[in-house]
């Protein structure tokens, strides 16, 4: 399995620190609002990485934080006149709902920044003691960037260029810094803000320290994978490396993975441009499985453009898989039970080729776009060979192959089936009987009734096929 490592700018063979185990940390959202579809990209991408690694037999310890103390949370709390913990608790709950709807599995642990303050104070203390941090007049603690000569190694930035740039960026209050590149580890409280006691002042942590601390607490000093969106490479991840490696005296993460950004109609998503969508907005229009399918239809390191048109394409693609699985299931119901034929066994062998292509694509830095193409090839194969007259065992094996690959992508393609609803099955059989008896009025009436439930029947040469469609009444059929 190869992973593109931002640190080395190369695809590298993945070798976990401890055989068979993966320690993975993914920077999570700041919880002051419903998550937007940009935030959904790393969630879906790295959940898929996790699923694929598990498919390969690795045991993944997956940690992802919620940043629950931050200027934006405090601002929102002040606007609503509530405590900031009310805001963060509300949006953590909402985020979990969205994750579930996108079939993003909960992390092994979801630590909260506010529950880890002791660990942060401890690590900041170590950094001060080792000369990597200093306390300014007002109690602010800064990381001493020049004490960490490798600073810039992740973002491949030149320290002198960075330093020259940062000088002009100094804002008032930052004149206590020894160097423009120094960053905040701890800052004094302001009126009306949440704060904690510390050896330096009553205050709260800077943003970067939480991830160094939580990653160490839940995964250890050295981890396999650290991940997030590409905007986090600098300064957030660069600062995490400086803090962790300076405090622990060991390399921090072996592989750094970053997803590219999601844009809307080729523009940066922003509230002021009016092209800002929450996951909840999309849920009002599409099944979120389609959003997931859409996200995985591109490689995670390529920018991804969101538009109605592309979502429609994703919808068609996703439904092609769902329909194929639904048809197989329908055929299984009435297929003869008994051993597979020799021909069927050979066909299944052939189908394994698509599974191999799927793995090959995923092994190449999680190329989900090609992996989905492999699923489509399997679907096409299933549509060709999964016909009436096949044994139930064969049809079922084909169906399981499709659902297993989709499941690695976290795509639910087996609908909790109306087609399996005994009432629906009965109606379908009754319609077949009515047609046999040339009672076409009755057959049509049943077809309309099923349409009203969102089930379209198509008479094909291979027999009746079931398709899920939008439920409609017969008069608009
Ligand atoms: P934030 O709450 O802003 O810290 O973002 C949480 C995660 O979402 C981070 O990994 C960000 O890099 C990622 N993210 C934010 N906006 C986008 C976007 N438009 N496209 C892809 N990832 C994003
Ligand atoms: Zn982080």
CA of 232, closest atom in ligand 1? 12
The per-residue pLDDT for 470 is: 65
Q: Is residue 255 predicted with pLDDT exceeding 70?
A: yes
Would you call 47 helix, strand, or coil by DSSP? helix
Per-residue pLDDT at 435 exceeds 50: yes
Cα of 27 to ligand 2 centre, how many Å?
A: 4
pLDDT tops 60 at residue 242: yes
Determine if residue 390 is left, alpha or beta; phi over 0 gives left, psi from -120 to 50 gives alpha, anything else beta: beta
**DSSP secondary structure string for all residues of 148-159:** -TTTTTTTT--H
The answer to whether 422 and 368 are in contact (CB under 8 A) is: no
Q: Which atom of ligand 1 is nearest to the CA of 35?
A: 2
Q: How far is the CA of 316 from the centre of ligand 1 (A)?
A: 27
Number of H helices, E strands in the chain: 15, 15
Among protein residues, the one with the nearest Cα to ligand 1's atom 17 is 38
What DSSP element (H or E) covers 163? helix 159-169
Quick one: average pLDDT of 7-26?
A: 98
Ligand nearest to the CA of 236: 2
> Residue 173: its pLDDT value, please?
60
Task: Return the H-helix or E-strand segment holding 448.
Answer: helix 440-452
Q: Is the pLDDT of residue 11 over 60?
A: yes
Q: Percent of the chain, pLDDT > 70?
A: 94
Query: Is pLDDT of 417 > 60?
Result: no
- For 55, 76, 241, 377, 403, the CA distances from 359, given in Å and listed in that order, are 10, 45, 32, 14, 15
Going by alpha carbons, the residue nearest to atom 7 of ligand 1 is 39
CA distance 121 to 128: 11
Find the radius of gyration of the CA atoms of the chain.
27
Q: For all residues of the chain together, what is the average pLDDT?
A: 93
Q: Specify the residue with its C-alpha closest to ligand 1, atom 14.
A: 39
Residue 405 scores a pLDDT above 70: yes
Q: Which atom of ligand 1 is nearest to the CA of 31?
A: 2
- What residue spans define the domains of the chain? 2-259, 308-408, 418-476
Q: Among the residues of 387-439, which ranges form H helices?
A: 392-408, 422-436
- Report the distance separating Cα 289 and Cα 210, nearest Å: 32
Ligand 2 center to residue 423 CA distance, Å?
A: 51
Q: Which ligand is nearest to the CA of 214?
A: 2
- How far, in Å, is the centroid of ligand 2 from the Cα of 226? 9
pLDDT tier, 455 (very low <50, low <70, confident <90, very high otherwise): confident
User: Who lines ligand 1 at CB under 6 A?
Assistant: 27, 29-30, 38-39, 41-42, 228-229, 231-232, 259, 261-262, 269
3-state secondary structure of 453: coil
Q: Report which protein residue has its CA nearest ligand 1's atom 18.
A: 38
Atom 8 of ligand 1: nearest residue by CA position: 39
Residue nearest to atom 19 of ligand 1 (CA): 38
Ligand at minimal distance from the CA of 208 is 2
Model confidence pLDDT, tens digit, residues 199-221: 999 999 999 999 999 999 999 99
pLDDT in the model for residue 162: 82
Distance from the alpha carbon of residue 122 to the mean position of ligand 2, in angstroms: 18
CA of 402 to the centre of ligand 2 (A): 36
Atom of ligand 1 nearest to the CA of 28: 6
More confident residue, 455 or 23: 23
What would the mean pLDDT of 338-362 be, rounded to a whole number? 97
* Strands 463-468 and 455-460, bridge-based pairing: antiparallel
- Cα–ligand 1 centroid distance for 54 (angstroms): 25
Q: Which residue lies with its CA nearest to atom 9 of ligand 1?
A: 229
* Cα(416)–Cα(53) distance, integer angstroms: 27
Going from the Cα of 280 to the center of ligand 1, the distance in angstroms, rounded, reads 16
pLDDT at 248: 98
- Could you say which ligand is closest to the alpha carbon of residue 211? 2
Average pLDDT over residues 36-65: 98
Q: Which ligand is nearest to the CA of 252?
A: 2
| CA dist list (Å): 2 to 11, 16, 367 | 6, 12, 10
Residue 476 pLDDT: 46
Least confident of 146-150, 331-335, 417-421, 431-435: 417-421
Is 50 exceeded by the pLDDT of residue 183? yes
Q: Looking at the domain that runs over 2-259, which CATH code has it been given?
A: 3.40.50.620
The string of pLDDT tens digits covering residues 263-318 is 998 889 988 888 899 999 999 999 999 999 999 999 999 999 999 999 999 999 99
Kindly give the distance from the C-alpha atom of residue 258 to the centroid of ligand 2, in angstroms, as a whole number: 12
> What's the CATH number for 308-408?
1.20.120.640
Average pLDDT over residues 66-94: 96
């Amino acid at each position: 399995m190869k992973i593109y490592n931002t640190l080395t700018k190369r695809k590298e063979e993945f070798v976990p620190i401890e055989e068979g185990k993966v320690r993975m940390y993914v920077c999570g959202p700041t919880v002051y609002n419903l998550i937007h579809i940009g935030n959904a990209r790393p969630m879906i991408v790295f959940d898929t990485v996790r699923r694929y690694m598990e498919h390969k037999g690795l045991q993944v310890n997956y940690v992802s934080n919620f940043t629950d103390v931050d200027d934006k949370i405090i601002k929102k709390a002040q606007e609503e006149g509530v405590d900031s913990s009310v805001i963060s608790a509300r949006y953590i709950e909402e985020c979990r709902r969205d994750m579930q709807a996108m079939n993003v599995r909960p992390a092994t642990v979801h630590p909260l920044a506010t529950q880890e303050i002791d660990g942060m104070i401890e690590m900041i203390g170590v950094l001060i003691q080792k000369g990597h941090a200093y306390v300014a007049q007002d109690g602010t603690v800064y990381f001493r960037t020049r004490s960490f000569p490798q600073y810039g190694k992740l973002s491949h930035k030149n320290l002198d260029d960075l330093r020259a740039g940062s000088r002009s960026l100094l804002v008032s209050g930052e004149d206590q810094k020894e160097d423009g590149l120094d960053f905040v580890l701890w800052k004094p409280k302001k009126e009306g803000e949440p704060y904690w006691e510390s050896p330096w002042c009553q205050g709260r942590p800077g943003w970067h320290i939480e991830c160094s601390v939580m990653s160490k607490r839940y995964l250890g000093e050295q981890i396999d994978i650290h991940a997030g969106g590409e905007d986090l490479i600098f300064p957030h991840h660069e600062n995490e490396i400086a803090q962790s490696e300076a405090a622990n005296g060991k390399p921090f993460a072996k592989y750094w993975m970053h997803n590219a950004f999601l844009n809307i109609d080729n523009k940066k998503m922003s509230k002021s441009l009016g092209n800002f969508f929450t996951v909840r907005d999309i849920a009002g229009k599409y099944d979120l499985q389609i959003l997931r399918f859409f996200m995985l239809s591109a490689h995670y390191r390529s920018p991804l453009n969101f538009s109605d048109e592309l979502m429609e394409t994703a919808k068609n693609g996703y439904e092609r898989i769902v329909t194929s699985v639904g048809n197989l299931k329908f055929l299984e119901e009435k297929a003869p039970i008994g051993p597979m034929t020799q021909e069927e066994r050979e066909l299944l062998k052939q189908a394994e080729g698509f599974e191999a292509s799927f793995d090959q694509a995923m092994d190449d830095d999680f190329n989900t776009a090609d992996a989905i193409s492999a699923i489509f090839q399997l679907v096409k194969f299933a549509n060709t060979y999964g016909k009436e007259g096949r044994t139930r065992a064969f049809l079922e094996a084909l169906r399981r192959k499709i659902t297993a690959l989709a499941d690695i992508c976290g795509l639910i393609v087996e609908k909790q089936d109306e087609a399996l609803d005994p009432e629906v099955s009965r109606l379908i059989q009754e319609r077949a009987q009515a047609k046999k008896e040339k009672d076409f009025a009755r057959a049509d009436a049943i077809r309309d009734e099923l349409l009203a439930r969102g089930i379209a029947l198509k008479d094909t040469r291979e027999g009746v096929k079931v398709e899920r469609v939008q439920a409609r009444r017969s008069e608009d059929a």
